[in-house]
Structure 1
Amino acid sequence: MVEIFQNIRKIYEFSMPCEDLINHVEFYSQSVLDSSVQHIKDKFSSVKMFPSWTPTFYINLGAPYYIDLKNTRYYVNKEQDVLILRNGDVTRHKLPVDNIFTVKFNPGGLEAVLGINQVCFIDQIINLNQILPWQLLQKIKQPISFEERVMHMESYLLKTYIKRSNQDHYVKIVNDCIGQYQVAGMQLKTSMIAEKLFITSKTINRYFNRVIGTPPKKYFSILQGRNALTAFINDREHFIPMDYGYYDLSHFHKGIVNFTGQRLTKQYL
């Protein structure tokens, strides 16, 4: 199964973060164990995910699995919890009995909430016990509901975030740049964003590399591709390429090949 091209969200339940964390945490999720989705789980044995530069916690509540990262396959045992930056393609090999609790941060969110810069995690799989307290991980691994797990995790994240009340200047500027890019229909160049924020393009480049780990042009291209492809798959009939910064449908197709390495097959046209 391939992210965006196929709806992997059907096999997970989701919860949005509280208002104080909404700018830094994208969502919490957990595998659906209900038998009603078992037929979907049985149809695939892996999930390929495209780059997003979003630090993500995977807390294992079930069976061992494998992850492919940078042409290397890693074994994750049933007691192991991991953090992945997702700066490149990631494939997680699944089993029908998988049960994963996930926390997905926005780019720079890990630094804003926990004071941990994500750049040092490029192309790595990090043991989550280096990031989160052992006691918290044990609470989440107990046989409790998804809502209770969210409550425990969010309580910890919020408490830590409040202690860091003076938000990092670098993170704020990067978030402002991303906001300007999205509001403008993903058509602004870095120089235009710099002008709107009264800073230089050189400064924006330095901040993006400092906070996210990649230049703004590359990150904006990923953001554009992810958003446009998601909209196209969800509603092809009403999809307008110009709404996502593409000149026309041909330009959009080329952009998707650059982003995913795959062409839109006939079933999507």
Structure 2
Amino acid sequence: MQHIEFFNRDHFYQHFHRRKAKNALSTFIDFFWETDFDALWSKYPDGFTDALFPDVGYTYMINLGTPFKMQLDEQPFDIKADIFLPRYKNILTLHTAGNKVFGIKFKVSPIIFLKKVNFYEYRDSIFPLVYLLDKVITDKVRTANTFDKRVAIISSYYEDVITQYKGSLKYVDIVTDVLKQYSNSNFTTSVEQYAAMHNISVRTLQRYFEAATSISSKQALQITRIRKAITAFVQSPSTFNYAAFGYFDYSHFYKYISKFIKNHKMAHVQSPLQLLQGSGIINY
């Protein structure tokens, strides 16, 4: 059995705890999540796969259960410990009984305030989380007995980091500002315009994005737009306004959505029109 992001919305709504980041944290963190699969093992004794499409930033994953398998595009990994991974790639995860994972989806990780990390150097694989998060923190998360407590531990840690260092790195301020502005715009502002707003060259903006998110500014904005558009489309197909996302017409929108979905070679999707099926919209 395979569950696909955007398509099998009931699965991702019912079997994951989610908490959207708030206040200062929301500039850096999209949301916290944790698997809730106990009710599924009798239905899928041999396990199941979850397919995710590209996103911006990184995900930290703290393993609270047994080992599991993942693929980034078509590159396989056996996951036994805590990891972090780039989100611009297509993901497929095989879950079996005993699996339990707590995750943090970052737009930009505040670790760059503490360590000289260039995330472009961590764009092609999965890496041990100990590189970026102290074992003392991961052990606290692992021993906490509820999702809410785990969120509180991580939130407190990163709130302290942001309070102490926010504003100390120009490129971080620029990247987070561009991502925030673009997410709340009509998606027609170009990379060139954002560079001009911040009095830097397009190449410099690209370098800033690569260091903070592992991908170029253009790719980050493209991913942001298509994900926002798909989310709006599945929430209310009858009222979806393609122009609100910078598309000329439905044909233009369908062209981009088809390419985005079909690039996930591991996701068993016959047609993007399957997005019209299913239920369950994530409500934080």
Q: Same fold (TM over 0.5)?
A: yes
Q: Counterpart in 1 of 2:27? A: 23
Q: Is the 8 A contact 1:180 1:193 kept in 2?
A: no
Q: Measure how far apart 1:43 and its partner are.
A: 11
Shift of residue 118 of structure 1?
Answer: 2.2
Greater alpha carbon shift after TM alignment, 93-102 vs 252-261? 93-102
Larger mean CA deviation between 48-57 and 90-99 belongs to: 90-99
Which residue matches 1:75? 78
Change (3 A) 1:197 1:62: same
1:27 alignment partner, SS class:
strand
CA offsets per residue over residues 30-78 of structure 1, 9 Å max, x none? 122564x77887797111111113211111112221001242211112x
* Deviations 1:109-159 (CA, angstroms, capped at 9, x unpaired): 543576633222102111112222222222211251111111222222222
Cα deviation, residue 254, structure 1: 0.4
Provide the C-alpha distance between the structure 2 equivalents of 1:233 and 1:38, rounded to a whole number of angstroms: 28
**Where does residue 161 of structure 1 map in the other structure?**
162
Q: Which residue number corresponds to residue 62 of structure 1? A: 65
Q: Which residue of 2 aligns with 1:189?
A: 190
CA RMSD, 1 decimal: 2.6
Structure 2 runs not aligned, ≥5 long = 263-268, 278-284
Cα distance between partner residues in 2 of 1:106 and 1:142: 26
Q: How does 1:1-269 map to 2 (within 5 A)?
A: 1-7=3-9, 8-32=12-36, 35=39, 45-77=48-80, 80-107=81-108, 109-111=110-112, 116-142=117-143, 144-261=145-262, 263-265=271-273, 268=276
Give the Å deviation of 1:259.
Answer: 1.6
CA–CA distance in 2 between the matches of 1:179 and 1:133? 28
- 2:83 and 2:220 map into 1 onto residues whose CA distance is 23
1:98–1:174 CA distance, 2 compared to 1 (3 A): same
Which whole-Å CA distance do the structure 2 matches of 1:69 and 1:267 have between them?
23
Cα separation, 2, equivalents of 1:267 and 1:175: 30
Partner SS for 1:185: coil
Q: 1:152, 1:265 → 2: CA distance?
A: 41
Separation in 2, partners of 1:252, 1:148: 41
Q: Which runs of 5+ in 1 are unaligned?
A: none
* Worse-superposed segment, 120-129 or 107-116: 107-116
* TM-score normalised according to structure 1 size: 0.87
Report how far residue 11 of structure 1 moved: 0.9
User: Could you say what secondary structure the match of 1:30 adopts?
Assistant: strand
Following superposition, the deviation at residue 177 of structure 1 comes to: 2.1
- C-alpha distance in 2 between matches for 1:211 and 1:198: 19
Q: 1:122 to 1:258 in 2, by over 3 A?
A: same
Instruction: Tell me the SS of whatever aligns to 2:50.
Output: strand
Query: Cα offset for 1:169?
Result: 0.5
Whether contact under 8 Å (2:7, 2:275) holds in the other structure is no
Relative to the length of structure 2, the TM-score reads 0.83
2:31–2:104 Cα contact (<8 Å) kept:
yes
AA in 2 matched with 1:147: D
- Percentage of matched positions with identical amino acids: 23
The residue identity in structure 2 corresponding to 1:66 is: K
Structure 1 residues 184 and 152: alpha-carbon distance in aligned structure 2, compared to 1, 3 A threshold: closer
State the AA in 1 paired with 2:60. F
